[in-house]
Amino acid sequence: DAIVTVNNPELGRYRFQMKGQAREFLPDNGRWYWQIWGKGRMKPLNADWTFSGAGSWLDEEIRIRKLNTGFNGIRYGVMSMDAPALTLLSPLIWTRTGGQEKLSGKVQLTTRKIRLDNSYLPSATFDMALDGRDPRDFSVKGTLSAGKNIGPIHYWSRWDGVRLRGEARWPEQDMRAFQTLIPADLGITLRNGVFYAQAAYSAAPGQGFVAGGHWVVKQAGMWLKDGEVDGVDFVLPWRFSDNRWQLGSKTPVMLRIARVENLFDVTDIKADLQGYYPYDDAYPLKLSGVSLDVLGGQVTMPLLTIPQKTAAVIKLDKLNTGPLINTLKVTQFALEGSISGELPFYIDNPQWIVHNGWVENDEPLTLNLDNQFVESVSENNISAGTAINWLDYLVMKRVRTDVNLTNLGVLTMSSVISGYNPVLDARRTVNLNYRHEENVFQLWRSLRFGSNLEAWLEKSISQNQE
């Protein structure tokens, strides 16, 4: 009988109890049959560990024929496992013959759930086959499967007594298998597409866990709360070290989307991302090359750097006002023509989301008022009716609108309009100064549009104010 306690500043505290029987036994000479059980605190995995097993030491062969281990949970970085357990599939055998040492065996690790921040993988199974010389020099080869549809992911690892290193390959798989990895509050349902990935990793005292690889999504489609997305292509090169993600380690993260149907259709979406998360001044995150086609024109944003030092300028090029007015369900008037402009955009400004933006017409805009609206104004006020008649069919040669949007959602637009009414008198110039103020968050709620964008903006603003 024996009791052994171990305390290591990096590996944790452990207590082993052993009993067995041996006669005329010396290391590698004789026979010893034993049972062992115990518990410990595995500091690197932040886990409480219990175990039991049985085996023998017969001359130069150490054999573990029974092993059951359990953890209250494992947590490492952003990953955690619920109720993992390790069992033997075939005995662990260590042959210690001089010059012909060999270690072999098969084990299985199961867990009810693997959590990754706000997402998870369902019940998972790791199968591992060990092969090597001794416990300080061996490799592990196996597969990982989760739920009914995820995997098998093939992996290989090697332990040299100091460093654990390895690689994993995730073969091409249907995107619908990853529905549980998407937080439920996003309201996204995967519909089609394929995914595959590769990764390499290393862990050692003083270094921690380091990994890198890439994820690829091809031609994915999904349903949103209020629309759908088609033709998603996504390439994510990544690296993880010191609890920090490097996104786009050598080449940028690339996103391409063929079409998004929501309040109105958006097509040919492009964006590149490169940098770090969590981000700070020394490790910034950069979003570049953003462009999309919408309302018959194009919206672009050359660069957004987080933390943000200067405004990210959103450029509008020849957007058609007609579909925009129809989508916003404005019934009092119709507006035809295209506009362009620039909107300086902020994500961490204490006051502004858009500040000192502007929009101008590319060509004369045509304003038509609703007949019932004109008649209603004319009946109630004669002078107002006379003025409204000049706007009933107005060709606006120049339109300039200054735009500001506060982080509370208050949109302010100040417009200067110059035009003429060809029906009443084409030679007479009509000049208007117009100011409009509205809370766009409330507008989005009324249109059942942009709830995700609104929530993100409000969350980002509240965090920055804190």
**Backbone phi, psi, residue 391, to 5°:** -95, -5
pLDDT of 162 > 80? The answer is yes
Q: Quote the percentage of the chain above a pLDDT of 70.
A: 91
The pLDDT tens digits for 29-53 are 899 999 999 999 888 778 888 989 9
Average the pLDDT over 208-218 and give the result: 93
Q: Count the Cβ atoms, other than its own, within 10 Å of residue 442.
A: 12
CA distance 295 to 325: 11
Higher local confidence (pLDDT), 98 or 201: 201
Rounded to 5°, the CA angle 291-297-302 comes to 25
pLDDT at 263: 77
pLDDT at 168: 94
pLDDT at 446: 62
**Backbone phi, psi, residue 364, to 5°:** -55, 130
pLDDT at 383: 58
Average the pLDDT over 9-16 and give the result: 88
pLDDT at 458: 52
pLDDT of 332 > 50? The answer is yes
The pLDDT tens digits for 360-381 are 999 999 988 777 766 666 666 6
The pLDDT tens digits for 422-461 are 877 878 888 888 898 988 887 666 655 444 544 545 555 5
Rounded to 5°, the CA angle 172-285-466 comes to 120
- 3-state secondary structure string across the chain: CEEEEEEECCCEEEEEEEEEEEEEEECCEEEEEEEEEEEEEEHHHCEEEEEEEEEEEECCEEEEEEEEEEECEEEECCEEEECCEEEEEEEEEEECCCCCCEEEEEEEEEECEEEECCEEECCEEEEEEEEEEECCEEEEEEEEEECCCEEEEEEEEEECCCCEEEEEEEEEEEHHHHHHHCCHHHCCEEEEEEEEEEEEEEEECCCEEEEEEEEEEEEEEEEECCEEEEEEEEEEEEEEECCEEEECCCCCEEEEEEEEECCCEEEEEEEEEEEEECCCCCCCEEEEEEEEEECCEEEEEEEEEECCCCCEEEEEEEEEHHHHHHHCCCCCEEEECEEEEEEEECCCCCCEEEEEEEEEECCCEEEEECHHHHHHHHHHCHHHHHHHHHHCEEEEEEEEEEEEEECCCEEEEEEEEEEEECCCEEEEEEEEEEEEEEEHHHHHHHHCCCHHHHHHHHHHHHHHHC
The pLDDT tens digits for 107-119 are 998 888 888 777 7
CA distance 323 to 366: 14
Tell me the average pLDDT of the chain: 87
Q: Quote the percentage of the chain above a pLDDT of 90.
A: 52
Average the pLDDT over 71-88 and give the result: 81
> What is the pTM for the complete model shown?
0.76
pLDDT at 466: 45
**Sign for the pseudo-dihedral over CA of 112, 116, 117, 120:** negative
The pLDDT tens digits for 293-322 are 999 999 999 999 999 999 999 999 999 998
The pLDDT tens digits for 265-292 are 899 999 999 999 999 999 999 999 999 9
pLDDT of 78 > 80? The answer is no
The pLDDT tens digits for 164-206 are 999 999 999 999 888 888 877 788 899 999 999 999 999 888 8
pLDDT at 386: 63
The pLDDT tens digits for 334-360 are 889 999 999 999 998 889 999 999 999
pLDDT at 450: 44
Average the pLDDT over 76-86 and give the result: 80
